[in-house]
Amino acid sequence: MSGTEFTKQKLWGGRFTGKTDPLMHEYNQSLSYDRRMWAQDIRGSQAYARALVGCKILTPDERDQIIAGLDAVGKEWKEDKFVIAEDDEDIHTANERRLKELIGPVAGKLHTGRSRNDQVATDMRLWMMDVVHGIETSLRGLLDVMIKRAESEVDHLMPGYTHLQRAQPIRWSHFLLSHATYFSQDLLRLRDLIPRISVLPLGSGPLAGNPFAGLDRDTIAKDLGFHSVGTNSMHSVSDRDFVAEFLMWASLAMVHMSKMAEDLIIYSSSEFGFVQLSDAYSTGSSIMPQKKNPDSLELLRGKSGRVFGQMSGFMMTLKGIPSTYNKDLQEDKEPLFDAVETVDRSLKIATGVLSTMTIFPQKMRAALTPDMLATDLAEYLVRKGIPFRETHHISGSAVRISEERKCQLTDLTLADLQGLSDKFEQDVMQVWSFDESVERRDAVGGTSRRAVLEQCERLQKVVA
């Protein structure tokens, strides 16, 4: 093939006579990964063909030929029969090349007034609009499992931890809903992203706008399901804030995933024994037959770093680009595609883990120790009119006495306690109840049974 023949097959080849270095062609191409946007590229092109009739660029018959031809191209992709040519650089050139093969020269009219700059931005936004709804569905599925478990297992108590030290008794459901609350906020943030993703770039041309009278961008937006139309053509072709914002969202969501995974890894250890993963989400050791490893949770924890890396890498690409489209922006796709796939799979794996996980309430309750009621002892005196700072000191003294005697806090007698404060009466012995302790924490957001079930109701409304 001569150099002229080679370049003539490229959309941009008219002013070039030299042959493209094969390595440069490979380095420049994006079809190996942007082919996943084939359906969005076809939808965008069909909408643009309809709009070109209003500009008198296409006749209704030519429009119908192009739309039918693009349907045929889409069918080839769908049936995995699309044959990629050597010189296809990206999904846009591949589809246009195939369209011309199918319907002839009229295909050349489709690109009138359109640039790959506004075309690729449109395709990416369409693709993201599709996948964000899928991720929302996966996230809602995870939350649904967490809420249902919390409702059905609301009566089980366990230690609550700060600094990984036993702190106060809580309900297992309260712990579970603490993570569900993070994910519910992720769901709200994801929904908030959609209007900023759903902005139409098509009709912006390469940077200065479309020159043909009669192009109705509002109709194109409505045709493709966009919420709004980009109001500055230079901004529209280069804006990838929606990619950066999604990657930031994904990074935070995966941090929340990692935090939950870490807790469950700890609780699944032999030292705790609060939970056990099903075999479907565990692996064994190649040398130690007794091992059952929480690999699913460890991968969820590890992949949070992967997603954050995609975000930080893309931000470094984005920060130094001058106005309008530059080829650097081709680097938006691989981190985005990888993050989308990683987050969606992670949500599905987490849903599987939580829906099949076994809990051991008896071990959770056995881990409760009387010293965890020291705050309740201080609060008893608060109800007797003593300022909390004093009651904290008194309760601390009671803990010190029990440690010196090597006994439990509950082993102290009424006389022992009255030696610390004359406000202690016989009813102080009612403080030594884990069930009563959690029930006293009945304010909104607390760990009482009523408060926890109220949290379930609130989260169900967010999911719905």
CATH code of the domain in which 397 resides: 1.10.40.30
Q: Report the 10 Å Cβ neighbour count for 437.
A: 22
Give a yes or no: residue 442 inside a domain.
no
State both tokens at 78.
């769908």
- 404 shares its domain with 344: no
160 DSSP β-pair partners:
168
Per-residue confidence of the chain (464 residues) as pLDDT tens digits?
Answer: 333 333 345 554 555 555 777 787 778 788 888 899 999 999 999 999 999 999 999 999 999 999 999 999 999 999 999 999 988 899 999 999 999 999 999 999 999 999 999 999 999 999 999 999 999 999 999 999 999 999 999 999 999 999 999 999 999 999 999 999 999 999 999 999 999 999 999 999 999 999 999 999 999 999 999 999 999 999 999 999 999 999 999 999 999 999 999 999 999 999 999 999 999 998 766 666 566 789 999 999 999 999 999 999 999 999 989 999 998 898 999 999 999 999 999 999 999 999 999 999 999 999 999 999 999 999 999 999 999 999 999 999 999 999 999 999 999 999 999 999 999 999 999 999 999 999 999 999 999 999 999 999 999 999 99
- 302 shares its domain with 397: no
- 247 shares its domain with 335: yes
**Integer Cα distance of 237 and 323 in angstroms:** 10
State both tokens at 340.
């989308």
Active site residues: 163, 285
Domain range for 164:
116-366
Query: CA-CA distances (angstroms) from residue 325 to 26, 115, 157, 391?
Result: 20, 11, 57, 66
- 82 shares its domain with 158: no
Phi, psi of 134 (to 5 degrees): -65, -40
Residue from 180, 192, 191, 193 nearest 459 by CA = 180
**Counted domains in the chain:** 3
Phi, psi of 413 (to 5 degrees): -85, 170
Q: Does the reported pTM lie above 0.75?
A: yes
- 165 shares its domain with 277: yes
Token pair 């195939």 in the structure block, residue: 98
H helix or E strand, kind and range, residue 81: none
Phi, psi of 169 (to 5 degrees): -70, 140
Phi, psi of 287 (to 5 degrees): -130, -20
- 82 shares its domain with 218: no
